[in-house]
Amino acid sequence: MSFNNVSAIGFDLFNTLIFADPETLPEAMGLLIGTLRSNGLHFDEPSFKKAYRSSALQCIEKTRQDGKETHNRFWISEALGLMGQDVAPEDPRIAATVDAYFSAFYDHCHLIPGTEEMLTKLKRTYRMGLLSNFTHGPAGWEIIDRLGLRPFFEVVLISGDLGYRKPHPMVFERLVDGLGVSTDRIAFVGDDPEPDILGAARAGLKPVLTTYVRDQKLPLVPGFAGHGSQDPDPSIPRVSNWDEFLLLLGME
């Protein structure tokens, strides 16, 4: 696969450009449960955690069938229902809980080493876009801004805002439209074989699998989606660090 004609590059976010500390998800769950309880909702904690995870997995599996994005408010509502408490997903108490949950990410997300330098170098030559599967758009934007990523990209797309998630073709179409370049001239870099690599390939982009997070045995946050899928075809280029990616593009 040649990258000589590439004039734009799309990136996944989590586990591609950034990673999260191991304590992120436990802390987030603690804030979720604490916020529900502070709003008068009481339940057995182990049973709730089990119900929440089950609901999340079921909802995410459904997204794999139709591509429509899910949201944490549905998982919380359903889990509370299994605890005998009827609280609608639109209830303000659940909205506050979602915000509390994602606040745990803000101080625990970090750029993968060399990311800022790599993006600075690429921006001189390529148009760049960001396409992330992340259920809660406001939190996604907060993380992107806190890490100083927004200025590097002509287009930033978050599945929680779009209503669909990778590998649905619509989200890649939006990325292509935002970059203003034909699909055969766009590379897409991601860590997750099904949504990132197969999704990009089916959309006509040139996929690149990044394995830094896997190689470093870092936690696969934000958590539930994707990483049970098989590795893509061995012919798909793989990079374990940004120097290898720059070399793939002929920039080293």
Percent of the chain predicted with pLDDT > 70: 96
Could you tell me the pTM of the whole model? 0.94
DSSP character at residue 236: S
Per-chain mean pLDDT for the chain = 93
pLDDT tens by residue, 20-38 = 999 999 999 999 999 999 9
Q: Average pLDDT of 83-112?
A: 97
Share of the chain above pLDDT 90, in %: 88
Q: Could you tell me which of 232, 223, 147, 229 has the C-alpha nearest to residue 188?
A: 232
pLDDT digits (tens, 9 = 90+) for 169-188: 999 999 999 999 999 999 99
Name beta bridge partners: 109.
20
pLDDT at residue 1, as a whole number: 73
Round to whole Å and give the CA distance between 7 and 187.
8
Find the mean pLDDT for residues 240-245.
Answer: 97
Q: pLDDT at position 217, please?
A: 85
pLDDT band for position 223 (50/70/90)?
A: low
pLDDT of residue 230 exceeding 70 = no
| Residue 131 neighbours by CB distance under 10 Å | 28
pLDDT at 227 over 50: no
Residues 217-231, mean pLDDT to the nearest whole number: 62
Both tokens of 86, joined, read 């009827």
Summarised one tens digit per residue, pLDDT across range 125-161 is 999 999 999 999 999 999 999 999 999 999 999 999 9
Cα 48 from Cα 45, distance rounded (Å) = 5
Quickly list DSSP for 72-116.
HHHHHHHHHHHTT----TT-HHHHHHHHHHHHHHHTTEEEPTTHH
What pLDDT score was predicted for residue 31? 98
**231 or 204: which carries more pLDDT confidence?**
204
Count of CA atoms in the C-beta half-sphere (13 A) of 129? 25
* C-alpha to C-alpha distance for 202 and 167, rounded to whole angstroms: 9
Instruction: Give 229's pLDDT tier (boundaries 50, 70, 90).
Output: low
Half-sphere exposure of 124 toward its Cβ, with a 13 Å CA cutoff? 6
Residue-wise pLDDT tens digits, 50-97: 999 999 999 999 998 999 999 999 999 999 999 999 999 999 999 999
Task: Report d(CA 72, CA 94) in Å as an integer.
Answer: 9
Report whether pLDDT(228) > 80: no
Contact predicate 205/168, CB 8 Å = no
